[in-house]
Chains A and B, each alone.
Chain A
């Protein structure tokens, strides 16, 4: 299998006048083409930092990061990054929010516009293209944010808790939907989440991080036996509980 994302011994420290924060320490990981992996870890352990490093908007203090075998030097058009909140711009319509990445990358042309229109139509926003984000529900906003990320046609998607602002039902339904979209568009995905069930049901592999500074604590390849291989139906798989409990114990959450 080709490795599309590879981190080798990556460390990251933040520097502010108040002091130094070690966010990531000697972290190595690799992701294969078409793989869906999840990263779980205690709050504030450095998960978002890992995604920012992969996306190239942060430079590691040490270590190497490669995308498709090439060292990362700044944001790459191969990588789409969906941030923790949707950050749709209120002053743009859904359509114009969806193409903002294309505008910035100067890739706005007939083909790319058609692709965005297709995504909007296909993923339930066809009637809302000319609406403003304020007029959308949380689930629709999140879908619009995903389409904005997909519009630039990246091979690799980084998803930072994309469902955390949603209520439980919407969250389940949308995670199913987004999973299907990602599989259909044949993307490689790295999902950061707090929700163990979400991680187990959606991924091929779950990485558990330690407390800050983030290191890999353990790795769990997920093999679930379920008829329809989609996140919701996989929650019924007999192995599901086992994975859930193991990861839960490893996270070692004390309330």
Chain B
């Protein structure tokens, strides 16, 4: 009846070694193929522009993008705009996640409140938050603040719904178990509901990175003072497609980095609970 622990020594058979070797090779091949694919796309783009299959003035071109990056780096403006966008996004998604989680806790705490607010949340969730952009702009003014509010607004409802759902799906019997020890509601929240919901909160965090970026870019379109969103709209207006494409590329890199940071936070948090 005593099963062996996980630290049982395993002697590897040649068959298993072969399997592991193959698996490693496949992983390596996937990584290389990914990079090659990217290079191929850029090369194709460059060639298409060079041979005039496409109009580089409209479609831009990797070499032109590179040149744009260099020019923008010289006066430092690229760092400013990227920095502004990152700053607004990070603030937006952190505040959206924190506020959303807090509201979810309130809903969990008071079933009555949850039942009262249910239809409101459903409508808010269905409403495209960007439609509120002009309203926020008028109320909060054309400031960084209104951009962050935009980002927050877009992520907070999704956070509330997802985190609350996760709270609700926590096994009743796990709660019952704590109750048998006489746990208070706060103890139930801290000892089981929150640790149980950490994976959902993290997955919400991942969704929110993307959503907040949407909010920030839309906000920057509207406020038009700084940030990658501003560069994109400005580039579009003066027909500098190189600037637009450069900003979009930087934006993808920013998005990728934020996603990676969240994955890093995920590992830390999962260890912590």
Contacts and interface: CB of A to CB of B under 8 A. Distances in A.
B178 A169 contact: no
Contacts of A136: 3
B195 interface: yes
A174 B2 CA distance: 11
Contact of A124 (B2, B180, B195): B2
B178 A100 contact: yes
Interface residues on B, range: 20 to 34
Given A91-B273, A104-B191, A135 B1 contact: no
Residue with the highest number of chain A CB atoms closer than 10 Å, among B6, B177, B273: B177
B176 A104 contact: no
Given A83-B173, A87-B173, A87-B174, A57 B180 contact: yes
B192 interface: yes
A226 B171 CA distance: 43
A137 B178 contact: no
Interface in B89-123: none
Nearest to A167: B1
Contacts of A104: 178, 181-183, 187, 191
Residue with the highest number of chain B CB atoms closer than 10 Å, among A85, A104, A174: A104
A124 B1 CA distance: 11
Interface in B131-190: 171, 173-174, 176-183, 187
Interface string A135-146: 111011000000
Interface in B169-219: 171, 173-174, 176-183, 187, 191-192, 195-196, 198
Interface string A169-197: 11001100000000000000000000000
A101 interface: yes
**Chief secondary structure at chain B's binding surface:** helix
Interface residues of A, number: 35
Contacts of A152: 181
Contacts of A52: 176
Interface in A87-117: 87, 89, 91, 100-101, 103-105
A75 B180 contact: yes
B231 to A, nearest CB: 44
B1 A169 contact: yes
Contacts of B179: 57, 75
B192 A89 contact: yes
Interface in A114-169: 124, 127-128, 131, 135-137, 139-140, 152, 169
B196 to A, nearest CB: 8
B5 interface: yes
18 contacts: A57-B176, A75-B182, A76-B182, A83-B177, A83-B180, A87-B171, A87-B177, A91-B198, A91-B270, A104-B187, A127-B5, A135-B6, A136-B3, A139-B3, A140-B2, A152-B181, A169-B1, A170-B1
Q: 5 nearest interchain CB pairs?
A: A137-B3, A81-B180, A75-B182, A101-B181, A104-B181
Given A81-B180, A100-B178, A104-B183, 18 more contacts: A57-B176, A75-B179, A75-B180, A75-B181, A83-B176, A83-B177, A87-B173, A91-B196, A91-B273, A103-B191, A104-B181, A104-B187, A131-B6, A136-B3, A139-B1, A140-B2, A170-B1, A174-B1
